[in-house]
Amino acid sequence: MAITVVGSVAFDSIETPAGKRERCLGGAATYFALAASYFTNVRVIAVVGEDFGRRQESVFQARGIDMRGIEHTAGKSFFWEGSYLGNLNEAKTLITDLNVFAAFEPKIPEAYRDSEFLFLANIDPVLQRRVRDEMPGVKLVAGDTMNYWINDHKPALLEVLKGLDILLINDTETRTLAGNSNLVQAARAVMAMGPSSLVVKHGEYGATLFHTGEASRTFKAPALPLEEVVDPTGAGDSFAGGFFGYLASQPELTPAVYRKAMFYGSVMGSFACERFGTERTQNLTREEIDQRFNLFRELTHLD
């Protein structure tokens, strides 16, 4: 079933201990869409400027991603520059130029309206909520956010959370949102704000899935121990793409399907780190993905 994702499509300049890249294709919606495209049909809502041309389009096209919701306007695309020289687990942001993204008004193409899955990538919660409200028929809604919205736009964010089935955020965001340093207690507090499932991403330590309700259970997916983390940019969005893409590909959303989705999330997150930008994620095969899935099974299973 098709996923609609709303979020940023951007250019990133990235420096890591492995090297430097200028103006790679980036943005949360880009990473999410590429990762999810190996599992199901993906439709993107975003805005880009005149610097987004054929070369960037071809990356989406090659993965069969629907771009009718990517609006082209005068000006430059969202640009981010960051460095991981000090800490591979957290980028130091050097430049954020919102450019055309500053006036982003998401428009949902008619052709997207039958999407059964909706992913609200990390953007202004006012926009997240608008898109969510305009797609009342979706079967499952997941979303991401970040500390900036949690700290400075909490009322708007709380409105978004009410409309989410699944929230995917990291440890710090979970603790900050709940105002509680114990992760289990914090997860319960966050789920009381709306989402019935919460995926807490731990970076190099994997991710934990929490559910409300008795029938379900907490589940942990590891991260792959990597010889070299070339560029962690987009790993979290790629996790979300693998996770939500796999869910959208399944006829029924059982607890077992959620667990496999956690593994596919980790798999796509691990690939994202192996090359700069989207280089690795845009050039995978489903066979490589499933081979790595099996590696994750070996890494965690007793038998």
Among 19, 107, 139, 205, binds its own copies (CB under 8 A): 205
Alpha carbons 264 and 38: distance in angstroms, whole number: 10
Q: Does 275 bind its own copies (CB under 8 A)?
A: no
Q: Does 232 bind its own copies (CB under 8 A)?
A: no
Strand order in the sheet with 92-97: 19-26, 10-16, 78-83, 92-97
Among 19, 256, 290, 291, binds its own copies (CB under 8 A): 256
Strand order in the sheet with 219-221: 66-72, 42-48, 3-6, 117-120, 140-144, 166-170, 197-201, 207-211, 219-221
Among 68, 92, 139, 217, binds its own copies (CB under 8 A): 217
The residues, any chain, with a CB within 8 Å of residue 239's CB and separated by 6 or more, are 35, 168, 199, 201, 207, 265, 266, 268, 269
**126 or 256, CB closer to its own copies?**
256
Among 32, 84, 119, 219, binds its own copies (CB under 8 A): 219
* Choices 8-16, 44-52, 110-118, 211-219; region in contact with its own copies by CB under 8 A: 211-219
Shortest distance (Å) from residue 10 CB to its own copies: 28
Q: Which of residues 80-139 bind its own copies (CB under 8 A)?
A: 88
**155 or 225, CB closer to its own copies?**
225
Among 63, 201, 260, 292, binds its own copies (CB under 8 A): 260
Q: Does 225 bind its own copies (CB under 8 A)?
A: yes
Alpha carbons 139 and 128: distance in angstroms, whole number: 16
**52 or 296, CB closer to its own copies?**
296
* Choices 25-33, 160-168, 212-220, 244-252; region in contact with its own copies by CB under 8 A: 212-220
* Residue 14: both structure tokens together: 């990235």
Residue 202 CA from chain centroid, whole number: 14
**96 or 218, CB closer to its own copies?**
218
Letters for 183-202 (x = contact with its own copies by CB under 8 A, - = none) are xxx-x--------------x
User: What is the residue whose two structure tokens read 């890591």?
Assistant: 16
CB contact at 8 A, 198 and 142: no
* Interface contacts to its own copies, rule CB under 8 A: 88, 181-185, 187, 202, 204-206, 208, 217-220, 222, 225-229, 256, 259-260, 263, 297-303
